[in-house]
Amino acid sequence: MSTIRTKSQRPARTYTTGPVTRALRWFTVLSTLGITAWLLVRYPSLPDTVATHFGPSGEADDWGPRWSLLVVAGIMVVLSLALAAMSTRPRGFNYPAEITDGNAQAMYREGERLLVWTALWMQVPYFGIVWAVLASGGGPLLAVGLVGLIGASIVGIVRMVRAARAQS
């Protein structure tokens, strides 16, 4: 019979993060900062009213104050950097299965990957939004990014469930 452990009682992380996961985490951080820098550089030249919503065809269908772009940028920077930072501490995540001595490292690895891929896919709609507002393009990236986010979530959860079964 296993006992349920609190997060602080879980086994320590001992695995080494793979080079692809590390590279994707850094790419996410750099792309977040790059997209935000592009927006900030162009911000002074934007009109007082900018597109704030885009329909399925990628065409703007709602307008608002240009400062609303700063809100979007702030939210995206905070979310992206927080996900990248949290991905380095998988011991404290909520998992779809009990963490045991036998499955902890596999579960931690899959939890880390899930957060890294989620943060990475968030950059696609962020880039699409900024591109759509600044250069009248990028609308399709919103849909591609949302599909990528859903896909990353599904794949990540499936991989965690498999890791729990394989190691228990």
Nearest to residue 64, comparing CAs of 83, 77, 50? 50
CA torsion 109→115→121→125, rounded to 10°? 180
Give the contacts of 160 (CB within 8 A, at least 6 positions apart).
95, 96, 97, 107, 110, 111, 114
- What pLDDT digit, counting tens, does each position of 89-144 carry? 999 999 988 898 999 999 999 999 999 999 999 999 999 989 988 887 777 888 89
Residue keyed to tokens 């995540």: 93
pTM of the predicted model, to two decimals? 0.87
Answer whether residue 55 shows pLDDT above 90.
no
Give the contacts of 25 (CB within 8 A, at least 6 positions apart).
84, 87, 88, 116, 119
Answer whether residue 162 shows pLDDT above 80.
yes
